[in-house]
Structure 1
């Protein structure tokens, strides 16, 4: 891992359901149900986590069809470990994977929240507006 602090270790692999749900919550992201995480995580194309001692403190995943479309999702860093470049290390690992494994013409996208757009711009991501806009809806069951 290209990081000056040996207390952090980069691991390639999907986070556990528990770590995934915990990191999303403490990072202020939308919550995912146990069922959603259990169904979704096994479909990960590529993922990276960072551990500090025994705790997973950062994560990111690549999802998609593994050919035409890839989406970078779930970039989350435990607030107690933010400001140490961990998000950049995670994104770099995901980008390295896509650059190496995705075929020519693959479309790689993400949704950038707030100031995260500045991090993603360092990796070549550009806004698609006004030609395109991101659109979404959430499934809500009572």
Structure 2
């Protein structure tokens, strides 16, 4: 299947729909609105004109950046869309590198 990845921050409703549709935890409209505003870079993957996946880069602007919200709807998983999303995020040249086992990240879910 042909997938196109566009550099864009998803609308709140699309963000919520893609997360839940791909099996990630739901986010409230308030949380999604605040979180999306903090995106450094975001992409949405399309199959035709239908959004089927996304990913974002968040960070502090100086020392730490993280790829989050990587998701692809189940009917499109295993067909290369996720690889295209990740490539688009990494191609931003933020210098992502594996840190384990030297360091391990932690997260707090609100």
TM-score, normalisation: structure 1: 0.69
Is residue 126 of structure 1 aligned with residue 98 of structure 2? yes
Match of 2:60 in 1: 65
TM-score, normalisation: structure 2: 0.87
Matched length: 110
Q: CA RMSD in A?
A: 1.7
Equivalent residues in 2 for 1:1-142, closer than 5 Å: 5-6=1-2, 8-97=3-92, 99=93, 102=94, 108=96, 125-126=97-98, 128-129=100-101, 131-139=102-110
Superposed structure 1 runs of 4+ greater than 2 Å apart: 131-139
User: Cα deviation per residue 1:25-72 (whole Å; 9 max; x = unaligned)?
Assistant: 111111111110011101110111111233210100000022211100
Q: Which structure: larger Rg?
A: 1
Give 1:136 deviation, angstroms: 2.6
- SS of equivalent residue, structure 1 residue 67: coil
Give 1:132 deviation, angstroms: 3.1
- SS of equivalent residue, structure 2 residue 70: strand
- SS of equivalent residue, structure 1 residue 30: coil
